Chains A and B, each alone.
Chain A
Amino acid sequence: MEYLSIFFDQVYKILFLLVPVLVSVAMVVWLDRRVWAFVQKRQGPNVVGPFGLLQTIADALKYLFKEIIIPSSSNKVIFILAPIVTMTLALIAWAVIPFSATQVLSDINVGILYLFAVSSLGVYGIIMGGWASNSKYPFLGAIRSAAQMVSYEVSIGVIIINVLLCVGSLNLNDIVLAQQDVWFVIPLFPMFVIFFISALAETNRPPFDLPEAEAELVAGYQTEYSGMMYAMFWLGEYANILLMCAIGSVLFLGGWLSPLEIYPFTLVPGPVWLILKILLLFLLFALVKAIVPRYRYDQLMRLGWKVFLPISLIWVVLTASYLFYFNLLPVN
């Protein structure tokens, strides 16, 4: 009986987190398309619902009622597992994101490592989908994206080390609280820029959307998918983008802290600030998609390994020596 009540308590909390995340994924798809359209002087989706807000829900309904076609030469189990893996990994990471000092589903000691682990697992959904389709375009897309995501994870890891040097804890709430005096975006600004660009590559967003470059690879790893399975890939991708925005705002923009600790700002609760910061980063993501042309594959690899990795490594040395010299290392 005791276990049951704990179980239902947790399920209630999880639902209270996941349902808003899923709804905001739907809204964010709409926002992305609207921003993209406004940059190109188009209207964008504006017909379904007020301002076209229900467009994504209409699209999802359409996908739901479409037939799921499984290619006869595909590896069926892995083919079906791939979108499930993508969607699940995009959602389980939200368990450790702190929305305020107390509002966090599980406040674990190694929160940032958990996020890093989950985002490094994200590549499996794509590899599985690409391989199981048993066709050349998905396979090429999967190989590309595996190499791309593994490369950019390295620099994201080094950037996380930079932040951890300043915090002295792997707990996400400690990372947020360490930014009470100054957000890390100011002392670590170059790292923030590199993190943002690496996050674009990690989530296969333009200008790094080579795994699904339509001119060369049809739709990359999603080519053979249809109906609800395609929609799961699509929504999982946007959930991942939101997650990267959340990680960015926790690491660099002070998470749920308000920008100024003075009267009118302190009235606004923490979650609202976090959501505003996530939205700000997402707007940047959407603008980049509309503005920047696609990278070439060798340029992408060069940027990851020969530019970002050395810069972030050197910055680790700089941060560590600065903190050590001025005796600022967070030792407890």
Chain B
Amino acid sequence: MIAHSIFFYTFSIIAIVSAIMVTASKNTVHSVFFLILDFISISCLFIMIGAEFLGMIMLIVYVGAVAVLFLFVVMMLNVAQQKNQWFASEDSSKHIPVGLIISTLIFVELIIVVGGWKYKPDLFDINNSIETAKVSNTHALGQVLYTDYIHVFQISGMILLVAMIGAIVLTFRKRAGVKTQSYIKQISRERSDGVSILNVESNKGVKIDD
């Protein structure tokens, strides 16, 4: 148990400190790197409570794909060079009350959820049949996700698909005068399309028209 708590506190301290550093660091790219560190330590915590599937999916989806896109955007926008003076400026103080309200709301919600879970477990519809069945984590998740919650699961998939198509439609535009290469044309090009052999009479030459 000692080793367990040592690991738990190490990962959670790293997670909390890096979460604070995400908002506190002046350089936006550093913020994203701290966010990645946060994701990694949280997936370590997931693995520690036995949710190995969730931990690995967290690594693959958030760190392997989402955070890469974050980094992409942040690097492209070139905000790294701007020193973040927002904290010191006048209009930051206007946003502080809003931020405080939202964070208090989240805090209260978390307390309600965790407290309710702790003191009134029968309030929550936790499927006990799976815990007793002694199947692997991935198996149990699949059994719940593809039976009881199949509609919710499919709807969330559809929402993501719609969001993706929407993003593509919004950014897609036809520009005139852009030269593109058609790979079908390039591959199907034959020797006869480019080269023709002519017998050139001396002192007359060949007229090439185009």
Which A residues form the contact surface with B (CB < 8 A)? 3, 75, 78, 108-110, 113-114, 116-117, 120-121, 123-124, 127-128, 131, 139, 143, 146-147, 150, 153, 157, 170, 298-299, 302
Complexed CA–CA distance, A209 and B104 (Å): 50
Count B interface residues, CB 8 Å.
24
- Given known contacts A120-B60, A127-B71, A150-B68, A108 and B52 CB-to-CB distance under 8 angstroms: yes
CB of B188 within 8 Å of the partner chain: no
CB of B35 within 8 Å of the partner chain: no
> Do A146 and B183 touch across chains, with their CB atoms under 8 A apart?
no
- Given known contacts A109-B52, A110-B53, A170-B138, A124 and B36 CB-to-CB distance under 8 angstroms: yes
> Do B138 and A110 touch across chains, with their CB atoms under 8 A apart?
yes
Q: Chain A residues near B3: list those with CB within 8 A.
A: 3
For residue A11, give the distance in angstroms from its CB to the closest CB of chain B.
15
Q: Chain A residues near B136: list those with CB within 8 A.
A: 109
- Given known contacts A108-B52, A121-B64, A131 and B29 CB-to-CB distance under 8 angstroms: yes
> Do A116 and B60 touch across chains, with their CB atoms under 8 A apart?
yes
The binding surface of chain A is classed by DSSP as helix
Q: Chain B residues near A127: list those with CB within 8 A.
A: 68, 71, 75
Q: Chain A residues near B63: list those with CB within 8 A.
A: 117, 120-121
Complexed CA–CA distance, A123 and B36 (Å): 13
For residue B7, give the distance in angstroms from its CB to the closest CB of chain A.
12
Given A3-B3, A120-B59, A150-B64, 7 further pairs, Cβ under 8 A? A75-B29, A108-B52, A109-B52, A113-B60, A117-B56, A124-B36, A131-B29
What per-residue 1/0 map shows which CB atoms of B166-183 lie under 8 Å from chain A? 000000000000000101
Complexed CA–CA distance, A75 and B75 (Å): 14
Q: Chain A residues near B56: list those with CB within 8 A.
A: 110, 113-114, 116-117
- Given known contacts A78-B33, A120-B65, A113 and B183 CB-to-CB distance under 8 angstroms: no
> Do B65 and A117 touch across chains, with their CB atoms under 8 A apart?
no
Cβ < 8 Å to A, chain B residues 43-81: 52-53, 56-57, 59-60, 63-65, 68-69, 71-72, 75-76
Complexed CA–CA distance, A120 and B204 (Å): 66
> Do B72 and A109 touch across chains, with their CB atoms under 8 A apart?
no
> Do B60 and A143 touch across chains, with their CB atoms under 8 A apart?
no
Which B residues form the contact surface with A (CB < 8 A)? 3, 29, 33, 36, 52-53, 56-57, 59-60, 63-65, 68-69, 71-72, 75-76, 136-138, 181, 183
**Ranked 9 nearest A-B pairs via Cβ:** A120-B64, A117-B59, A113-B56, A117-B60, A110-B52, A110-B56, A109-B136, A117-B56, A120-B60
> Do B65 and A150 touch across chains, with their CB atoms under 8 A apart?
yes
Q: List 13 A-B contacts (CB under 8 A).
A: A75-B29, A78-B33, A108-B52, A109-B138, A117-B63, A120-B63, A124-B36, A131-B29, A131-B75, A143-B75, A150-B68, A153-B65, A302-B183
Chain A's closest residue to B57 (CB) is: A113
> Do B52 and A299 touch across chains, with their CB atoms under 8 A apart?
no
Q: Chain A residues near B65: list those with CB within 8 A.
A: 120, 150, 153
Chain B's closest residue to A7 (CB) is: B3
For residue B196, give the distance in angstroms from its CB to the closest CB of chain A.
27
Q: Chain B residues near A170: list those with CB within 8 A.
A: 53, 138
- Given known contacts A109-B138, A110-B138, A114-B56, A299 and B183 CB-to-CB distance under 8 angstroms: yes
Chain A's closest residue to B74 (CB) is: A131
> Do B181 and A298 touch across chains, with their CB atoms under 8 A apart?
yes
Complexed CA–CA distance, A120 and B40 (Å): 13
For residue B136, give the distance in angstroms from its CB to the closest CB of chain A.
5
